[in-house]
């Protein structure tokens, strides 16, 4: 019986006009309309003013008119435009940089086809067979000699024949070098055209959205060195911005923790250590009770093994993030975490 009376509790404060109460009813509307009509006797104008200005009751109840509604809508629209225009500006800048990178790559491909760009060492069309110089020297040095009857005239004749042999061998090596890979210049040009066509088709087939383009270009082997450098610079800049935002968010979260949050975190760490210690000793920890008290820290965890695995994954992810921070950011974040752990220890 007592529960029935104590179920709903009410608090009373002094009226200041800001409290939310029931809206305007029909009597309020008719009273406001009658007051306005009595002033000039024009019912149509009274209805129009009522719709434009709204109704303000004597007890503080209020209904917005069209004028106030439009003003609020304009302010909300302005806020939303300002908010998303900033994001749109960032995306437009990214799109412009990606278009520049793709244009550089297309120009580089065209220059490679026209032979106006230095060939890349990894280009298949530049892999030429290099004849062995040692083999040339061995062949040029194989001159018949007759025992120890080496006379100056004979040695001079041998040196002359050796020099002539070397000249012939070098001429032959130039021909064998161009044909050692089995491809003629025409075949190499056709191969280069096939590679260029495949890369141009890949660029044309990139998704229209920015994330899809970034993902596609991340796995793309650029033919133009400048385009590759521009894309790497863009990715490094995006990574630095993400790390900066993460660092600022984590720093703000640590600084804004209330004493109650710190006390709850301290209790969670204590209970977690107790549960892990019981598991290590071969006991059966009360995982359900732990999750009832601290489940908000571990969403999606259904068992102690899941909790341990999640903690290991979070630790690895956190270490990867720390490695990508600058030394100053890393030190500042470590100082904040040490300060937080000290507050937890003495809470």
* Per-residue pLDDT tens digits for 297-341: 888 888 988 888 888 888 887 777 777 777 877 787 777 777 766
Claim to verify: residue 220 and residue 313 sit in the same structural domain: no
Claim to verify: residue 236 and residue 267 sit in the same structural domain: no
* Per-residue pLDDT tens digits for 93-115: 888 999 999 999 999 999 988 87
Band of the pLDDT at 156, cuts 50, 70, 90?
A: very low
The predicted structure's pLDDT at residue 21:
56
Domain that holds residue 43: 26-63
291 contacts 308 by C-beta, under 8 angstroms: no
Does the residue 68 lie in any domain? no
Number of domains in the chain: 3
Does the residue 314 lie in any domain? yes
Q: Kindly give the residue spans of alpha helices, DSSP state H, lying in 115-183.
A: 133-141, 152-179
Does the residue 264 lie in any domain? yes
The predicted structure's pLDDT at residue 7:
47
* Per-residue pLDDT tens digits for 224-277: 999 999 999 998 888 777 777 777 777 777 778 788 888 888 888 889 999 999
Claim to verify: residue 103 and residue 221 sit in the same structural domain: yes
pLDDT at residue 164 greater than cutoff 70: no
Task: Determine the Cα–Cα distance for residues 311 and 308; give it in Å rounded to an integer.
Answer: 5
Last residue of a domain, one of 220, 255, 290: 255
Does the residue 5 lie in any domain? no
Residue 172 corresponds to which tokens in the numbers above?
A: 């032959």
pLDDT at residue 165 greater than cutoff 80: no
Does the residue 123 lie in any domain? no
DSSP output for 12-69 = -----S-S------HHHHHHHHHHHHHHH--HHHHHHHHHHH-EE-TTS-EE--HHHH
Claim to verify: residue 297 and residue 339 sit in the same structural domain: yes
Q: How many CB atoms lie within 10 A of CB 32?
A: 20
Choice between 270 and 78, residue whose per-residue pLDDT is larger: 270
Claim to verify: residue 98 and residue 240 sit in the same structural domain: yes
Claim to verify: residue 325 and residue 194 sit in the same structural domain: no
Claim to verify: residue 249 and residue 284 sit in the same structural domain: no
Does the residue 250 lie in any domain? yes
Does the residue 164 lie in any domain? no
CA 59 → CA 28, 63, 89, 244, distances in Å?
11, 12, 48, 52
How many CA atoms does the CB half-sphere of 320 hold within 13 Å?
7
Claim to verify: residue 264 and residue 250 sit in the same structural domain: no
DSSP output for 220-257 = ---SSHHHHHHHHHHHHHHHHHHHHHHHHHHHHHHHT-
Does the residue 251 lie in any domain? yes
Strand partners, 62: 56
The predicted structure's pLDDT at residue 194:
92
Claim to verify: residue 244 and residue 225 sit in the same structural domain: yes
Claim to verify: residue 320 and residue 336 sit in the same structural domain: yes
172 contacts 124 by C-beta, under 8 angstroms: no
Claim to verify: residue 222 and residue 276 sit in the same structural domain: no
Claim to verify: residue 226 and residue 113 sit in the same structural domain: yes
Least confident of 32-41, 67-76, 207-216: 32-41
The predicted structure's pLDDT at residue 2:
41
Last residue of a domain, one of 255, 280, 301: 255
Choice between 7 and 71, residue whose per-residue pLDDT is larger: 71
């Amino acid at each position: 019986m007592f529960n029935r009376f104590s179920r709903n509790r009410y608090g009373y404060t002094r009226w200041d006009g800001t409290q939310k109460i029931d809206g305007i009813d029909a009597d309020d509307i008719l009273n406001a309309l009658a007051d306005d009509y009595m002033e000039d006797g024009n019912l149509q104008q009274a209805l129009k003013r009522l719709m434009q200005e709204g109704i303000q009751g004597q007890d503080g109840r209020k209904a917005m008119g069209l004028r106030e509604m439009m003003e609020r809508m304009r302010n909300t629209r302005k806020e939303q435009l300002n908010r998303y225009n900033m994001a749109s500006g960032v995306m437009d800048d990214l799109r412009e940089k990606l278009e520049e990178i793709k244009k550089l790559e297309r120009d580089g491909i065209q220059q490679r086809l026209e032979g106006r760009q230095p060939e890349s060492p990894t280009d298949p069309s530049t892999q030429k067979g290099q004849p062995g110089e040692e083999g040339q020297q061995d062949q040029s040095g194989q001159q018949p000699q007759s025992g120890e009857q080496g006379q100056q005239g004979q040695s001079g004749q041998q040196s002359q024949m050796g020099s002539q042999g070397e000249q012939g061998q070098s001429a032959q090596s130039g021909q064998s070098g161009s044909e050692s890979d089995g491809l003629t210049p025409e075949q190499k040009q056709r191969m280069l055209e096939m590679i260029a066509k495949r890369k141009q088709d890949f660029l044309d087939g990139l998704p229209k959205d920015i994330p899809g383009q970034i993902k596609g270009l991340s796995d793309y082997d650029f033919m133009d060195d400048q385009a590759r450098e521009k894309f790497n610079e863009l990715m490094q800049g995006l990574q630095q911005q993400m790390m900066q935002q993460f660092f600022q968010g984590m720093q703000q979260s640590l600084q804004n923790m209330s004493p109650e949050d710190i006390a709850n975190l301290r209790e969670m760490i204590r209970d977690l250590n107790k549960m892990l210690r019981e598991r290590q000793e071969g006991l059966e920890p009360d995982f359900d009770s732990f999750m009832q008290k601290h489940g908000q820290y571990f969403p999606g965890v259904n068992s102690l093994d899941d909790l341990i695995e999640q903690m290991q994954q979070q630790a690895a992810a956190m270490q990867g993030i720390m490695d990508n921070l600058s030394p100053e950011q890393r030190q500042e974040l470590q100082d904040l975490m040490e300060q937080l752990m000290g507050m937890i220890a003495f809470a």
